[in-house]
Amino acid sequence: MKHIAKVAVSSLLLGSLAYAQAPSEPGSSASAATSSVVSPVESSIEPVRPVAPEASKDTDPDIVADPASLLPDLPPVPRAKATLIGGTVERLDRVRDQLTVRVFGGSRMNILFDPRTRVYRGGAEATLADLREGERIYLDTILDGNTVFARSIRLKSEQAIGESQGIVLKYRTDRGEITVRDAISPTPLRVRFNSSTQFLQGDHRVPASKLSEGCLVAVKFSSEGNGHEVAREISILALPGTRYTFAGQVVHVDLRTGLLVINSATDRKTYEVYLDPSVAPDENLHAGAVVTVVTNFEGSRYVARSLTIDSQGK
């Protein structure tokens, strides 16, 4: 009986312990005990924040490097005699820093520019941002290798001071007036001349009688303020039927139209020469080649009668 009593007591004790360890309903003290153990561990987990490096004592936090200051300075513009080119801006490429100008004779010329290029409007300095397609401009250009670079660009001024180059359509000595057809202007230019107007051919002064219809001239003029332009200087560049010889470096070649643009070694000016159909172009004729061309001035352009390549250049 004693053995049976011990077994009964043991069973009762084990049942009590089993009941005490049984899962209780939510909100019971057992759950509270469990959460009280886990919660401190979970609450201690926080996102890691990057720690900023300590600033150097020698660094000023207010100083920020300008990216432009990290670029090397542009070399100075080569010192070479500039050639004046007049035309209208046909295409402006600000990405490649290049503009296409329709120059006298109706041809096109690609000209490079960069921050070294100075821009003027009238007597005031302007910026490259003032360039617009369709605007009439004058450029002081230099030959930089095989490319033409704009050392300065002069935009058309609102002031009545300007230059023109073209063919004399009419020459009225009785009225003291000439009419010039400028290829880059939609309408002919009428300019008056008087006793103070200088007539030049090359570097020499010539009488006004030297001028005739069909001449290629360059005119510098100003305004009287009443809608009339008065020529200060008329330079005779070419007379009809006259032979001219050009020697210099080829700046541009367009064999499709037979056009050559030559930078003369004599006066450092740029001239457009058209190949006569009888003149077969040499395979060595390219931009950079040094040539001698014998031309006749016919109508409104120089026409090459013979061409000799003196050097293939670069």
Domain with residue 271: its CATH number is 2.40.50.320
Q: Which domain holds residue 297?
A: 243-311
Pair 229, 253 in one domain: no
Lowest-confidence segment of 40-49, 141-150, 303-312 by average pLDDT: 40-49
Pair 101, 165 in one domain: no
Lowest-confidence segment of 36-45, 72-81, 234-243, 280-289 by average pLDDT: 36-45
Where helices occur in the chain by DSSP H, the ranges are 2-21, 29-43
Pairing of strands 124-126, 118-121: antiparallel
CA-based R_g, the chain, Å:
43
3-state secondary structure of 110: strand
Residue pLDDT, tens place only, 179-231: 998 766 667 888 899 989 999 998 899 999 999 999 989 888 876 655 578 89
Per-residue DSSP letter, 279: S
Residue 292: inside a domain, yes or no?
Answer: yes
Pair 234, 256 in one domain: no
The number of angstroms, rounded, from the C-alpha of 36 to the middle of its chain's C-alpha atoms is 75
Residue pLDDT, tens place only, 55-112: 555 555 555 555 445 445 555 655 555 567 777 788 899 899 999 988 755 568 889 9
Per-residue DSSP letter, 183: T
Residue pLDDT, tens place only, 32-55: 333 334 444 444 444 445 555 555
Dihedral sign for Cα 262, 267, 269, 271, please. negative
Pair 137, 166 in one domain: no
Lowest-confidence segment of 116-125, 143-152, 225-234 by average pLDDT: 225-234
| pLDDT at residue 8 tops 70 | no
Q: How wide is the angle at C-alpha 61 spanned by C-alphas 56 and 65, nearest 5°?
A: 105
* pLDDT band (50, 70, 90) for residue 267: confident
pTM given for the model: 0.47
Given 220, 238, 256, the domain boundary residue is 238
- Nearest Cα to Cα of residue 271 among 297, 240, 289, 239: 297
Lowest-confidence segment of 33-42, 109-118, 240-249 by average pLDDT: 33-42
* pLDDT band (50, 70, 90) for residue 251: confident
Share of the chain above pLDDT 70, in %: 66
Pair 149, 189 in one domain: no
Residue 215: inside a domain, yes or no?
Answer: yes
Quote the pLDDT of residue 198. 93
CB atoms within 10 A of CB 116: 13
Length of the chain: 314
Residue 182: inside a domain, yes or no?
Answer: yes
Quote the pLDDT of residue 108. 80
Residue 253: inside a domain, yes or no?
Answer: yes
Distance separating alpha carbons of residues 261 and 263, to the nearest angstrom: 7
Which residues fall within 8 angstroms of residue 102, CB to CB, at 6 or more apart? 87, 88, 90, 108, 183, 184
Pair 167, 198 in one domain: yes
Number of domains in the chain: 3
Residue 77: inside a domain, yes or no?
Answer: no
Give residue 260's identity as a one-letter amino acid code.
L
Which helix (H) or strand (E) segment holds residue 50: the answer is none
> Mean pLDDT across the chain, nearest whole number?
74
| pLDDT at residue 141 tops 90 | no
Burial category of 72 from C-beta neighbours within 10 Å (exposed 0-12, middle 13-18, buried 19 and up): exposed
Per-residue DSSP letter, 14: H
